Structure 1
Amino acid sequence: CGTCGGSDIDVDQARGSAVCTDCGSVLEDNIIVSEVQFVEGSGGVSSAVGQFVSADGPVKAPLLGSGFHTSVGKESRAQTLQGGKRQIQHLGSQLQLNQHCLDTAFNFFKMVVSKHLTRGRKTEHVIAACLYLVCRTEGTPHMLLDLSDLLQVNVYILGKTFLLLARELCINAPAIDPCLYIPRFAHMLEFGVKTHEVSMTALRLVQRMKRDWMHTGRRPSGLCGAALLVAARMHKFRRTVKDVISVVKVCQTTLRKRLTEFEDTPTSQLTIDEFMRVDLEQECDPPSFTAGQHKTKMQQLEQELTRKLDDVEGEISCYKNEIETELEKSRPKLRGIYAACTQETDPANAEVLSVNPDPAEPEDEVQAAAQRLTQDFLCHVIQEEEGWARVECLHKAPPLGAILGNLPSAAGLDLQQHLESAAEPEAEQVEGGELDLDGIDDQEIEKYILNDKEVEVKTELWMKQNAEYLKEQKEKEARIQKEKEQGTYKEKAKKPKKKREQKEASTAGEAIEMMLERKKISSKINYDVLRHLNSRGTGGGRGSSPSGAPSDPAAAAGRKRLHGRRKR
């Protein structure tokens, strides 16, 4: 006894209990009796009491009357297993799996049901995962994508379910060998009698890829597609990338990436005969490792280049300051009246702008500055040429700095360019519509004429830009020609243009009425009412004054007196 430590236990087989006689503790209750009992039937035949139950635990379904078998009373587990077995048989027949694989898949399904892994998941997903688990363990040439196509389910959902079942059932699915899929894909690409030769070459390529660490962590279909494409070209079969990807079910980028990785290996430098006879012993590094090294090297080069650029920019800035200083020293100094103008302008406040001035500034100040410069220039020229010592300007204007203030300088305003363009005489207009070719030589004319190569390039560019339009025109011409041959073509009848009779209007009102009649502005306007209003407003055909005043002074005076009486 666990309470008092006594060993005197009273066991009652009828009640199925065990009681300690020393302290009275009930040690066991409702004990399952494993004894076999027999009863004697009406015919004197003895039979065992109860029935045999399998390890799965289903019970026999009851019979409702004679010949009526029903699933009422069956356990839910039995129904799940029955439906799962039926779906496994259906999918297995489509994948052309043998009976051994189907039985193994059903055993996996029973293990999944016993561990309650079907809860919250669709039965078809679990069955597909069990079938793919069998394909991985038995080494059949089937992919998870094949099951995805049959069930029309996302392949990532099936992959997630497969990984869960493999982890919970403690099954280590072996890695897929790409060589399993080569015969299948080669048969689908239809190489004819050379299917075996192409398959053997592709197998050799796949084995070489596996030695160069291109297999680990990659989908086998991508390696098979690259190997089959190269093998087909080696045996002079014209198979495009689209033909291969439609069979192996990978995207074009993946296939091209596998080809690029294989191109970086030493095996790609061998000829066809050397590849079929020689096996290179050396192995290449994995593509991911090589790409990581290349990325690190590129980052180091970028850092070194950035450092060198910074050094060069520092040297350039030093040279730039020295060059500006030397240019400022070597710049010729202005003399005469221009020197006075530069002295009047404060260099500390003057801002020399290298861009055009703001167009929003007033033009009056610019014109005043230009007029001032022109007058000073004329005065200086007259004094030098004719020797007039007492010639003065027309009026003494304020200094240039007072006029311009902090405005941009003459160089920033492009005044010199405007003055030169204004001083140039206007070109005489060519009369008679003839082009003046004076001063143009043959070499300059030849520059405007395209040579044969430029004509071809421009023609090709034009054809590419207008390819759709030209195609539509050809289809239209072919359709019209076909309709003419069949006699069903009908030309569109051209509507004759109506000649409009030009009527001269005597007044502006008549001209407006004629225009409204010719061009209906709106269908909701009653033009007769407008015409009546026009006739009333004109006062019997006479035009009214714009101010609305009456033309008769006497009538106006009478109306004024009447208005005054009403006010009173």
Structure 2
Amino acid sequence: MNKYFISISHPMDKICCHHHPNAPLVEDSHAGDTICSECGLVVGDRVIDVGSEWRTFSNEKTAEDPSRVGGPENSLLNGSDLSTIIGPSRGSASFDEFGMSKYHNRKSISSSDRTLINAFREIGSMADRINLPKSIVDRANLLFKQVHDGRNLKGRSNDAIASACLYIACRQEGVPRTFKEICAVSKISKKEIGRCFKLILKALETNVDLITTGDFMSRFCSNLGMSISVQRAATHIARKAVEMDIVAGKSPISVAAAAIYMASQASEDKKNQKEIGDTAGVAEVTIRMSYKLMLPYAASLFPSDFKYAVPIEHLPTS
């Protein structure tokens, strides 16, 4: 008898050994048998093992249970993820008089769940292309679910709604992305995403924090390969320009791009307007307009400890 057997007691009205009705029974989890502890008679077989199919070691610090019990359940879907699959037909009882199979697998997924699954897949695909974390994907999925259940944006493309939800999720999670960055990984135009963005905020009665130049500065400078000193100078310039109300009416993205251009032109690490515009997603003329507004106040915008490679008076005029 296996030394790992577990002793269990059964009352008389349940399974027991005919020769030793009062003897405790043991269960062989490997063979799936229930055995009498007195004579070794197998009184029950095919016991279902409810344990894991994999061995679990005590030093494995994981919260995941490797038991194979079907796909993970998605709480955002309306129906259950568990389903029954009918195997290949066998025997005459499985066919009708015409030789056709009596039992067929039918897709039980509802049209609502199918829409949600497709949207979640699109959101995940867009997020992967711009390296967004799972927390943002989860928030975007929840936003899409709320919009879908409320039927607030009838007539709008699901892809446009998904793109707008991803944009809102980025803003709400404190890592905003520009409309052009979302457009780059989506099939929807900036104009349509902007419309859905406003409609979603109104329908869900939610809001997003205002974006600032600091939300984009480190990412833009990093993508441009600029030094820390230039990044600090550009951050200081943009913040001072906003505080002094020099760039009133200009978007934070264009102000950040103009500040990067000004800081780079005063340093040895120079970047032209096209390079900065391609990275920030703004036109060169937009950078130029903000830069011209900031240039007369350049002496007040630069940090006091900045090491100039080019004097302020020799900075480009456009």
Range into which the TM-score falls when normalised by the shorter chain: 0.5 to 0.7
Q: Which residue of 2 aligns with 1:201?
A: 233
Residues 214, 135 of structure 1: alpha-carbon distance in 2 compared, 3 angstrom cutoff: farther
Q: Is the 8 A contact 2:176 2:211 kept in 1?
A: no
**Residue 47 of structure 1 aligns with which residue?**
none
Identity %, equivalent residues: 20
SS at match of 1:151: coil
Residue of structure 1 in register with 2:293 after alignment: 261
CA spacing shift, 1:187–1:211, aligned 2, 3 Å: same
Aligned residues: 219
2:215 to 177, 180, 189: 180
Alignment partner of 1:122 out of 157, 181, 200: 157
SS where residue 239 of structure 1 aligns? Answer: coil
Offset, 1:70: 5.6
**2:283 matched residue in structure 1:** 251
Matched residues in 2 for 1:230 and 1:251: separation? Answer: 16
Structure 2: which amino acid aligns with 1:225? A
**Greater C-alpha Rg:** 1
Distance 1:269 1:140 in 2: 31
Cα distance in structure 1, aligned partners of 2:301 and 2:251: 27
Q: Assess, with a 3 A threshold, how the Cα gap between structure 1 residues 171 and 75 changes in structure 2: closer, same or farther.
A: same
Task: Give the secondary-structure state (helix, strand or coil) at the position aligned to 2:209.
Answer: coil
Q: Which of 146, 149, 153 pairs up with 2:188?
A: 153
For residues 225 and 100 of structure 1, what CA distance do their matches in structure 2 show?
28
Q: Which amino acid aligns with 2:189?
A: N
- Gap change, CA 1:139 and 1:215, over 3 Å in 2: farther
Give, in angstroms, the shift of residue 227 of structure 1: 0.6
Segments of structure 1 that go 5 or more residues without pairing to the other structure are 1-53, 278-568
Q: Which residue of 2 aligns with 1:517?
A: none
Provide closer, same or farther for how the CA distance between residues 272 and 208 of structure 1 changes in structure 2, counting only shifts above 3 A: closer
> Which residues in structure 2 correspond to 1:217-232 (within 5 Å)?
217-232=249-264
State the match for 1:137 in structure 2. Answer: 172
Who is 1:58 aligned against? 79
Residues 167 and 71 of structure 1: is their aligned pair in 2 closer, same or farther, counting only changes over 3 Å?
farther
Relative distance call for 1:271 and 1:105 in structure 2 (3 A) is closer
**Alpha-carbon distance in structure 2 between the residues aligned to 1:69 and 1:103:** 35
Q: What residue number does 1:211 align with?
A: 243
1:440-464 deviations in Å (ceiling 9; x for gaps) = xxxxxxxxxxxxxxxxxxxxxxxxx
Cα distance change, pair 273–60 in 1 and its aligned pair in 2 (3 A) = closer
Answer yes or no: is 1:95 the counterpart of 2:130.
yes
Q: Corresponding residue for 1:113? A: 148
TM-aligned CA deviation for residue 188 of structure 1: 2.1
CA shift in 2, pair 1:202/1:114, >3 Å: same
Q: Which residue of 2 aligns with 1:299?
A: none
Query: How big is the shift at 1:247?
Result: 1.8
Residue 215 to residue 128, structure 1, CA distance change in 2 (3 Å): farther
Native 8 Å contact 1:61 1:71 kept in 2? no
Q: How far 1:62 sits from its partner (Å)? A: 6.2
The 5 A counterparts of 1:386-425 are: none
Bigger Cα displacement from structure 2, 220-229 vs 113-122: 113-122
Of 257, 268, 273, the match for 1:241: 273
1:502-533 Cα distance to aligned partner (Å, 9 max, x none): xxxxxxxxxxxxxxxxxxxxxxxxxxxxxxxx
One-letter amino acid of the structure 2 residue matched with residue 145 of structure 1: K
Residue matched to 1:190: 225
Q: Secondary structure at the match of 2:185?
A: helix
Deviation at 1:196, TM superposition (A): 1.3
Secondary structure (helix, strand or coil) at the match of 1:127 reads helix
CA distance in 1, matches of 2:126, 2:163: 8
1:447-486: CA deviation from partner (whole Å, max 9, x where unpaired): xxxxxxxxxxxxxxxxxxxxxxxxxxxxxxxxxxxxxxxx
Question: Which letter maps to 2:244?
Answer: D
* Partner Cα distance (2:146, 2:256) in 1: 34
**Residue 61 of structure 1 contacts residue 70 of structure 1 at CA under 8 Å; is this kept in 2?**
no
More helix by share: 1
Query: Deviation of residue 86 (structure 1)?
Result: 1.4
Q: 1 CA distance for matches of 2:110 and 2:306?
A: 62
| Contact 2:164–2:193 (Cα < 8 Å) also in 1 | yes
Once the two structures are superposed, residues 7-26 of structure 1 have per-residue CA deviations (whole angstroms, 9 ceiling, x without a partner) of xxxxxxxxxxxxxxxxxxxx
Q: CA deviation at 1:269?
A: 3.8
- The Cα shift of 1:90 comes to 1.1
Structure 2 vs 1, CA of residues 233 and 115 (structure 1 numbering), >3 Å: closer, same or farther? same
* Kept in 2: contact 1:62–1:69 (CA 8 A): no
Q: CA deviation at 1:238?
A: 2.7
1:274 Cα deviation after fit? 4.0
Q: Where does 1:56-95 land on structure 2 (aligned, <5 Å)? A: 57-58=78-79, 63=84, 65-66=86-87, 72-95=107-130
Partners in 2 of 1:271 and 1:223 — Cα distance? 13
Unaligned runs of 5+ in 2: 1-74, 89-102, 308-318
| Contact 1:186/1:199, CA 8 A, preserved across alignment | yes
**For each residue in 1:190-215, what CA deviation from the matched residue of structure 2 results, as whole angstroms up to 9, or x when unmatched?**
23xxx211111111011101202256
Report the TM-score when normalising by structure 1.
Answer: 0.36
Letter in 2 for 1:211: E
* Equivalence map 1:303-314=2 (5 Å): none
- 1:188–1:247 contact (8 Å) kept in structure 2: yes
CA change 1:145–1:273 in 2 (3 A) is: closer
Q: 1:64 to 1:241 in 2, by over 3 A?
A: closer
Query: CA distance change for structure 1 residues 179 and 55 in 2, over 3 Å: closer, same or farther?
Result: closer
Pairwise CA distance, 1:75 = 1.8
Aligned partners of 2:301, 2:173: CA distance in 1, in Å?
37
- TM-superposed deviation, 1:105: 0.9
Q: Give the root-mean-square deviation of aligned CA atoms.
A: 2.8
- TM-fit CA distance, 1:118: 4.7
Q: 1:164 and 2:199 equivalent?
A: yes
**Once the two structures are superposed, what CA deviation does each residue of 1:66-99 show, in whole Å capped at 9, x if it has no partner?**
3899662322111111112211211111121111
Give the distance between the partners of 2:300 and 2:248, measured in 1 at CA.
24
